Chains A and B, each alone.
Chain A
Amino acid sequence: MKVYDKLKHSIRYWLLRTLPTCQQTVEKISQSMERSLTLRERINLKLHLWICAWCQWYMEHLHIIRETTRAKADEPPEFISGAGLSDEARERIRRRLTNQN
């Protein structure tokens, strides 16, 4: 068992030193949401994710964000604290519309 763990550790270490870094990987993760990656890019990404929980979470979070924003796209963005049109803008638009009518 000990030999196995040691071997696993060595493989992980070797992969981390050989594969693109986390900084390069997060950029690929983002691009994977925009285009199909090449075979080489896909293999590197898969291997990196296999040994790196941080990048795994990173990718998961980007997809959580996308799924949430798309689902809420038509929800009234009520966040802008009480702010609809200002009174001044509302009056200006009202005058403009009345002239037009």
Chain B
Amino acid sequence: MNVPQGQFPDESPDPGRWLDDHGDYLFKYAVFRLRDNTAAEDAVQETFLAALKAYKEFQGRASERTWLVGILKHKIVDHFRRAGREAPLGEESDEGPEHREFFERPEPWQGHWNNDYAPNEWHATPAELIERSDFWKVFNDCLSPLPQRTASAFTLREVDGLKSEEICEILSIKVNNLWVMLHRARLHLRNCLELNWFRREQ
């Protein structure tokens, strides 16, 4: 049997050490997706409680952190499910800003990019962006003005790579709503990244 170094299958669980070793990481992972400190703290606590119960099944099969993150993902989804049931999507404004001003132009060009908001060339490749340590900070700051559910839907889609149908089921929304939310998040985020980042550097 393959036992990862330093982990013994019959070792008794030590939740105090889990908290010290992984508490901050799990919290950041959760708060990034839930965008709510209290909900993230609850998710971390529930994760450790579930981990205690499921410890026998774990038995050093994966790294401890990967195992805990796996449980946390379920707790995050549970939170969204509850929130989706309690507060169904109402007004259209819940989906996020439309940013009509991006396309305000005198006729006959109404509906085409306004010069002030039109995209510029970024001169950046994903490989360069991946190297940047402040990427998540800028990303997160740019998402924060959006409605919580839109920001969460966008994160589930673009960061975690969940399928449209899965996100709709988790958030209790229709696929058309999801597409509007994702579109508005992209419109907003792209512009914000460009303003705060690419234009600043020139």
Contacts and interface: CB of A to CB of B under 8 A. Distances in A.
Interface of A: 16-17, 21-24, 26-27, 30-31, 33-35, 54-55, 57-58, 60-62, 64-73, 75-80, 83-86, 89-90, 92-94, 96-98, 100-101
Size bracket of the B interface: 35 or more
A92 B139 CA distance: 31
Interface of B: 15-16, 19, 23-25, 27-29, 31-32, 37, 41, 44-45, 48-49, 52, 100, 102-103, 108, 110-113, 118-122, 124-126, 129-130, 133-137, 139-140, 158-161, 164, 178-179, 182-183, 186-187, 189-190, 193-194
Contact of B129 (A58, A68, A97): A68
Contact of B183 (A26, A70, A92, A96): A26
A72 B121 contact: no
A16 B108 CA distance: 10
B41 A93 contact: yes
Contacts of A100: 15, 49, 52
A34 B19 contact: no
Contact of A61 (B100, B122, B158, B161): B122
Contacts of A57: 119-122
Given A77-B28, A79-B136, A97-B48, A58 B158 contact: no
Contacts of A23: 100, 102-103, 111-112
B103 A73 contact: no
B14 to A, nearest CB: 9
B158 A65 contact: yes
A54 B23 contact: no
B126 A31 contact: no
Contacts of B28: 76-78, 80, 83-84
Given A83-B28, A94-B16, 17 more contacts: A21-B110, A22-B112, A26-B183, A30-B187, A33-B182, A34-B164, A57-B121, A58-B119, A58-B190, A64-B122, A65-B158, A70-B161, A75-B136, A78-B136, A79-B139, A84-B25, A90-B19
